[in-house]
A and B are shown apart, each in its own frame.
Chain A
Amino acid sequence: MAPPQRSSSPSQPSGKGEVSDVKAQAPASGGSRAPGADDSKRELFKKFLKKMCYLYVGNYAKVNPDLALLTINFLQRDCKDADPMIRGLALRSLCSLRVTNLVEYLVGPLGAGLKDSSSYVRMVAAMGVLKLYHISASTCVDADFPAMLSICCLTIQIHRWLQIVLSALQEIWSLEGSASEEVSREREILLSKSVIYYLLNRIREFSEWAQCLVLELVAKYVPSDSNEIFDVMNLLEDRLQHANGAVVLATIKVFLQLTLSMTDVHQQVYERIKAPLLTLVSSGSPEQSYAVLSHLHLLVMRAPFIFSSDYKHFYCQYNEPSYVKKLKLEMLTAVANESNTYEIVTELCEYAANVDIPIARESIRAVGKIALQQYDVNAIVDRLLQFLEMEKDYVTAEALVLVKDLLRKYPQWSQDCIAVVGNISSNNVQEPKAKAALIWMLGEYSQDMHDAPYILEGLVENWDDEHSAEVRLHLLTAVMKCFFKRPPETQKSLGAALAAGLADFHQDVHDRALFYYRLLQYNISVAERVVNPPKQAVSVFADTQSSEIKDRIFDEFNSLSVVYQKPSYMFTHKEHRGPFEFSDEIGHVSIGTESVDTVVPANGVEANDKDLLLSTSEKEETRVPSSNSSAYSAPSYDLSSVSVPTSQLLELTISNPTVPGHAPQSSFAIDDLLGLGLPAAPAPAPSPPLLKLNPKAVLDPTTFQQKWRQLPIALSQDYSVNPQGVVALTTPQSLLRHMQGLSIHCIASGGKSPNFKFFFFAQKAEESSTFLVECIVNTSSAKAQIKIKADDQSATEAFSSVFQSALSKFGMP
């Protein structure tokens, strides 16, 4: 029999050929498990048919809600069947219909199901409560189901299905949010000592999946003293020997979290978990090992010295996929210290000759990184220089880049390196990065390299063939440097380079050439000081990831954050942040306060800025010209990421028309709280005229852009964003909605965490005078930079306080 074609969706058997398939698979025709017993055979067949019918109903209910109504009766009747299997099945199907107007029929059977004598039915009911919550949260809460669930969790013997009840509860709670006091109280009960102990003492009776959940819960528990911590750890010690990696990782998370404040115990934990982790990495499927390896990677990065004697475990195997090799190379780099560097570098050099080119490159980079970490670079430099002689173009290219970095850190090695670099023909180097590195060295060390001016001259002659702007920029600078060191030999090529640079179509190259030209014209000795200043060796190269982010990832141990090496707010939406986010808010707060002075990486925002404005004008052009400006309800016609349905916006604006009125007062209070140091005078400053904003203001992007260009900056200020605001900013849309509610509209927004950029506008209620705002928020430093431009400059102060108070209220419940 040919496999049936399932064109649309295989979960919905629809073709005729499949009927016979199903028939063939029905138990009655395949022979029964208890041959001879007709009754049981019939019973079995009946159950099978029921199952198939339920599956069908479940699939089509959503499409045909009216027809689904017809099945309710049957399902409800089956919920009272004598057979627990049937009861469970019926209840599950009933809850899976996902049809809103059938909710009323659910409450009764669910209530009965939670108290059923069969644990299977209770389990189905627990999941049903969650399903009901998703269809209609209010019905679910009104019927008091969550509370019943938590009782269920603790009283009834449900060990086999504990994970279901727990996960249902956790999801409901996280969706309910921390707003409701009742919910937080319920949470506290589950995290109380007695409950945690109750669960811990029975952990061996639970299924492995339930164990994962319980452990996740325990990781949130805060023991009262160190004795308690040791009790918990002793109790869980044998979980580290579980064959299921998920259980082991969850246990490790508990250990790490519990001992965070006890430095030496924390270190012992690392020692203890090393062996189980390594075993998990080498057993199981490659996919599972990858998940564990990512976690091991995180730990190695945090405490490389603990793993420095295990470096051989991080050697790559030839048949491993490259995602595994990359992790291992990073670990090897991290654990390298004085005692093992030689062996690690020897091993890495083997990979450099590997057929797997990306990995060969990574290995060379790893060697370079190790060289930059170590004080004794003697041996490594030799190896790197050997790479240069290997005559594989990618090896040479990577090695050149490394030698350049190395020289910036250890200028004392220049003699050795230069001798080898000088032998490399620039024709053999094609990759822009490598070529740029070579040219940099030619310029920097032109006094030591005999033919540097002539190589540069050759490169300048081929200016037009050089496609990479980076290389041309470096070439300009190198020729300049060379000129000051060996003027007679370089003068000609400097002239040629400047001429070529001035004629270059690339803006940066052109500008640099012009700059050099004028500098030389102005004063040669100044030019020399600019181009060839005495250099200090670079001691530390900038780390790519901030320590905050690393800590954040560590807090999210045993989650995807570790695999992606990003904290969860960078790849998930708030509502999907995971079922158990108790300490989330606290985490944000601490980050917000500790890191106020982090430098904002400005260029990211700059780039976004450009994009934003560009895309505005492009959209403008493609728009149908007939619609006049009054037809816009501004943000609905918004840019890329921001798309809030108009109807929703209007609703929000109307519901909140009076807010701007009380702005000045509240802003004072909040300023004091944040200690921003307002003018000391306690008497309120001459109160700015009460500003009313038009809740339905409109402005089209072109006008916005024009105005933004024309108007001067009326006010530029820095604010602090409150921690709640930072948290809420994980979904930038929420800020837009919030501001919208206060009659401040957004016209464009963009950026990636931690830098967001927004353009707002607002209009006075009575007249058409508008305010334009550029607001840059950095969530990691919790700061907002605001620039206001206004038609009516005199009202700027008033508007500023309105805006500030609006911003400070963002994220507040």
Chain B
Amino acid sequence: MISQFFVLSQRGDNIVFRDYRGEVPKGSAEIFFRKVKFWKEDGQEEAPPVFNVDGVNYFHVKVVGLLFVATTRANVSPSIVLELLQRIARVIKDYVGVLNEDSIRKNFVLVYELLDEAIDFGFVQTTSTELLKSYIFNEPIVIDAARLSSLGSTGLFMQGTKRMPGTAVTKSVVANEPGGRKREEIFVDIIEKISVTFSSSGYILTSEIDGTIQMKSYLTGNPEIRLALNEDLSIGRGGTSAYDYRSSFGSGAVILDDCNFHESVRLDNFEVDKTLTLVPPDGEFPVMNYRMTQEFKPPFRINALIEEAGMLKAEVILKLYAEFPSNITANTISVQMPLPKYTMRASFELEPGAIGQTTDFKEANKRLEWGLKKIVGGSELTLRARLTFSQEFHGNITKESGPVSMTFTIPMYNSSKLQVKYLQIAKKSGTYNPYRWVRYVTLANSYVARI
């Protein structure tokens, strides 16, 4: 049960504000924003998603830079409220196509209408995009998606949220195509976030894949869908520890540690032929989340070296090995490495002929940043940086710097080898042949090499 719901912009402007129960004083949005902005004086710590100020509990989630906030005085289940906030953001996105400050402002009447139907007196009525359709009369003003491109699609899913919006899917569930005809299509995205920690000797300390099969359906009449996964897929590792690699390594089978499913998914045949049966509701939703600690081949290997070169100098050598097939290209790669705090300057040297690469030394937090537009599979890249220190260093220079961390996006590649073998739509007629998009993408979650 929540008392108020509001959406704040990054600057703290009230974009949407709805008071359901009148129990929390009006100034709550300001109190909240100030608290979030200045959680600790040194600004080093982020405010947790749930906190209590003067008996009022504030919940917030960050979605594409906006703060979705709920307040209540009751001792409610935090996951219900946080889930609800996330769900509201998704419903709004389903309706207006693109979620950002502008689209919410332009569609504020629609947003209020949605809020009134989704929540009454602080209680959730429904967050199903489909159910809401029959109670919503407004039509969205669709923001021109082209205007977004300046932001870049990666900007949308790298920042803050782990959940990536289907990159190309910026269409409202209710709006029509300009031609007046609705296009029959369905998107299935397999999104994998990988976390790898390499030891200083290049050995893999920990690795994990967190994957989601996300679906967005624009099919009329809600036909049943069958989604077939790898036949050799198995779930759970019996009695063995989750990190016991030996048992599974080399067998080639995909073994998930655990997974969960959207409530529309029926698993009647899952044990037999690894198919998921579902009637997809409108809008975007995760069909299945899974987690895997089975050993896999990391797409990148990182080699970092820092060496003293005289009294006030040192040299950093960073090497990247792209260990995936050459028909695949990773993009928006960024490599970061904290340097000793008495570093004054850094001069960089890229390989001859390097294009689309940027280098930077961030003075404020003493960090080296190496950006690469794309890396083709199988290639190897090197960066050399010469550091100048303001004072002589004592002790161990490697202890003062690192670890190297990396972010990237690799489209049409997934490390787990989990696949959608086929996507079957229970058809109504022979001519019915909607577009089906099955896309794979791998993102770095926490990709770290210690030095």
Contact = CB atoms under 8 A, between A and B. Distances in A.
Interface of A: 1, 3-4, 6, 9-11, 21-22, 24-27, 30-33, 35, 44, 47-48, 51-52, 55, 85, 92, 96, 98, 120, 123-124, 127, 130-131, 160-161, 163-164, 167-168, 171, 204, 207-209, 212, 216, 240-246, 248-250, 275-276, 278-280, 282-288, 290-292, 294-295, 309-310, 312-313, 315, 317-323, 350, 353, 355-358, 389-391, 556, 558-564, 568, 571-573, 576-579
B197 interface: yes
Given A207-B128, A244-B83, A287-B61, A31 B176 contact: yes
A278 B256 CA distance: 13
Interface in B280-302: 286, 288-291
Given A275-B236, A556-B75, A563-B50, A243 B262 contact: yes
Contacts of A167: 1, 123
Q: Is the interface of A mostly helix, strand, loop or mixed?
A: helix
Interface stretch (B136-144, B316-324, B409-417): B136-144
Contacts of B60: 287
B48 A27 contact: no
A390 B131 CA distance: 61
Interface string B15-48: 1111100100010000000000000000011111
Nearest to B15: A10
B110 A25 contact: yes
Contacts of B174: 33
Nearest to B180: A35
A257 to B, nearest CB: 14
A313 B242 contact: yes
Contact of B289 (A130, A283, A576): A283
B112 A11 contact: yes
Given A10-B15, A559-B77, A577-B74, A323 B259 contact: no
Contact of B61 (A55, A285, A317, A318): A285
A25 B142 CA distance: 11
Q: Name which of A275, A283, A564 has the most chain B CB atoms within 10 A of its CB.
A: A283
A221 B131 CA distance: 32
B41 to A, nearest CB: 12
Contacts of B22: 98
Interface stretch (B206-214, B371-379, B424-432): B206-214
B55 A571 contact: yes
Interface stretch (B146-154, B219-227, B306-314, B443-451): B443-451
Contacts of A27: 137-139
B390 to A, nearest CB: 16
Given A160-B126, A286-B161, A560-B76, 17 more contacts: A11-B112, A25-B109, A25-B138, A85-B134, A161-B125, A207-B126, A209-B127, A242-B261, A244-B263, A285-B61, A287-B49, A292-B79, A318-B446, A320-B446, A559-B76, A563-B78, A578-B75
A24 B160 CA distance: 33
Contacts of B400: 353
A350 to B, nearest CB: 6
A130 B21 CA distance: 11
A33 B172 CA distance: 13
Contact of B73 (A24, A286, A572): A572
A794 to B, nearest CB: 46
B80 A209 contact: yes
A752 B30 CA distance: 28
Contact of A322 (B45, B52, B127, B131): B45
B77 A358 contact: no
B162 interface: yes
A651 to B, nearest CB: 25
Given A164-B123, A276-B260, A288-B79, A391 B394 contact: yes
Contacts of B288: 243
A280 B286 CA distance: 13
A279 B79 contact: no
A578 B14 contact: no
B386 interface: no
Given A246-B77, A323-B46, A288 B180 contact: no
A113 to B, nearest CB: 13
B40 to A, nearest CB: 8
B251 interface: no
Q: Which 3 A-B pairs have the closest CB atoms?
A: A317-B446, A283-B289, A287-B49
A291 B78 contact: yes
Interface stretch (B100-108, B325-333, B343-351, B353-361): B100-108
Contact of B121 (A127, A163, A242, A353): A127
Nearest to B287: A243
A124 B126 CA distance: 12
A279 B289 contact: yes
A764 to B, nearest CB: 39
Interface string B52-84: 100101011111000000001111111110111
Q: Name which of A22, A98, A208 has the most chain B CB atoms within 10 A of its CB.
A: A208
A317 B83 contact: no
A558 B77 contact: yes
Nearest to B211: A283
9 contacts: A10-B15, A163-B124, A171-B1, A285-B63, A291-B82, A309-B242, A353-B399, A391-B395, A568-B75
B195 interface: yes
B126 A246 contact: no
A561 B162 CA distance: 26
B113 interface: yes
B75 A321 contact: no
Nearest to A207: B126
B89 to A, nearest CB: 9
B86 interface: yes
A571 B116 contact: no
A279 B141 contact: no
B165 interface: no
A209 to B, nearest CB: 4
A48 B138 CA distance: 7
Contact of B102 (A3, A245, A290, A356): A3
Nearest to A95: B121
Contacts of A562: 78
A648 B135 CA distance: 46
B123 A127 contact: yes
Given A127-B120, A285-B163, A33 B139 contact: yes
A579 B73 contact: no
A278 B258 contact: yes
Contacts of B134: 85
Given A127-B120, A276-B258, A579-B74, A282 B208 contact: yes
Q: Name which of B102, B125, B135, B236 has the most chain A CB atoms within 10 A of its CB.
A: B125
Given A288-B79, A317-B446, A85 B49 contact: no
A30 B1 contact: no
B109 A52 contact: yes
Contacts of B49: 286-287, 290-291
Nearest to B124: A209
Interface in B156-170: 160-163
Contacts of A130: 121
B46 A55 contact: no
Interface string B228-244: 00000000100001110
Contacts of A358: 44-45
Given A127-B121, A318-B446, A558-B77, A280 B17 contact: no
